[in-house]
Structure 1
Amino acid sequence: MINFNGELLQENSNFLNHENRGLRYGDALFETIRVVNSKIYFWEPHYLRLMSSMRILRMEIPMDFTMEFFEEQILKTLQSNELNQKSARVRLTVFRNNGGFYTPTNNDVSYIIEANELHSTFYSIEDKAYEVDLFKDFYLNPDMLSTLKTNNKILNVVGSVFAEENGLDNCLLLNAQKSVVEALNGNLFWVQGNVIKTPPLSDGCLKGILRNKLIEIIKNLEDYTLLETSISPFELQKADELFITNAIVGIQPITKYRKKEYSNEVAKSLIGKLNASARLG
């Protein structure tokens, strides 16, 4: 079942048409959220990011779009799919309503909530190969729009096709200044000794929920120094560890970039702290 503006519909329902602005112009935002036994992980940061992004895109925020309202709608959707006592991936999409060309006829919005089962209850790290390389066909623009989770993800789509064609698990994206910004599906962390780096928002990386949470966790650890600073492609092969973060997987260690292989000790030391933080909210 899919939740469209509060109404539960069958997944094969034709409730959108060719005028949908998310389809026509990418005029939409989304949040991908992990839920375990009806506990919404990091719900407040997700909600606040969505509201902030809607303001930046000049969407009209309805009065009833409160944290409590969306939490109720998410749980209703999970219940309708018999996922309320399981682990689930929830996607909440907000898009501007039909009308107009580039200039919309109004700034009113609609939303869709969909849910799919996940098969892991907690964030975990598997000891398996995970190889990446740079995707250099196209570049990210280092501006505020790149930090938002919009439907304009064609770079990520083309990069994912490139990764599959080349037997890679993921690719790292560059900005116009040739700095490494993020992975196709998450933020990047670089580890050397007791120094951990992650690209700054000014480089164009997504304002990731897990990125912010790990920055907070690492800053409270005496053993490490956290730097938000640009990372060059040359620095990748100097790292002891590289890992990717997103709200669904948590932490994904990279095991190989070109000829360089990496360990995952720091990533493993952080995963327990991340799970504890998720359970607390």
Structure 2
Amino acid sequence: MKTGICGLGRMGAAMAERLLSQGCDLVVWNRDPAKAAPLLAKGATLAESPAALARQCDRVLTMLYDADAVDQVYSGPDGLLSGPVKGKLFIEMSTIGPEAILSIGSAVTAKGADLVECPVGGTIGPAREGRLLGLVGGSADAVAQAQPILSLLCRRIEHAGPLGAGARLKLAVNLPLLVYWQALREAMGLVADLDMPPDRLADLMADTSGACMAVKHRAGELAALLAGTGEPSLSFEAKGAAKDLSHMVATAAAQGQAMPVTAAARDAFTAAAAGPIAGRDAMTITALDWAAQRAARP
């Protein structure tokens, strides 16, 4: 059975590496084909378009940046659904809103194919090691079809309900971490004038009851960031954090729920990702006020 992957960004490429290491017959496509070169060297085949990939594969995974990219890859002139795909299985793994998933699901069903959504928790390392957290939405039959390939990528597969449920669960999983980074930014601002070494401060913040798991694992990176001696590894880009926070607020609003804390974090990340932390990890927002206040000290 041939498997295809559309989208070879950091996560898509890492998942492709994992599948190749498990002996999968893999076809890949990316808007910039040069990114496929390391995978071709490991045995993957390059498709010239999403349509060509769909023709060759029984099941297709997509890992793309946002809903616009997903829509183009599925429904564009040379997209996945531009040819006959009856009986094929599509697994959408991007982090997009539930409305976008439902729209794609309708388009896939109209072509006689099945769609499962499986946005994932985890970063590049877990993707390469098959230790992602799979947050699944779709019919029981379609999810059963997807289980063999998802089990190669995920340490835990949580079937949340019908299409759209996985997207909402992924937003819920990401929300506390992203709000925490903004909260830690404000906490750092409170103590920027203390003569406390960054490594001790980072260790202390990681040792409190309010610390999230991410900062406990990344206290060393936080210390280097505060000290100005190192840049955190790019795990979750700030632009993506702003995007996800926007989806969270919009999804809650559609359900009649107010999210004032999340909305504030969204605004902070949107501004910072367009300026001082553009292209950097979301964690870097924590040092913005710290750095400014330390620089202003006499």
Q: TM-score, normalised by structure 1?
A: 0.21
Structure whose residues are more often helix by fraction: 2
Structure showing greater Rg: 2
Structure whose residues are more often strand by fraction: 1
User: Comparing both chains, which one has the higher relative contact order based on Cα–Cα distances under 8 Å and sequence gaps of 6 or more?
Assistant: 1
Q: TM-score, normalised by structure 2?
A: 0.20
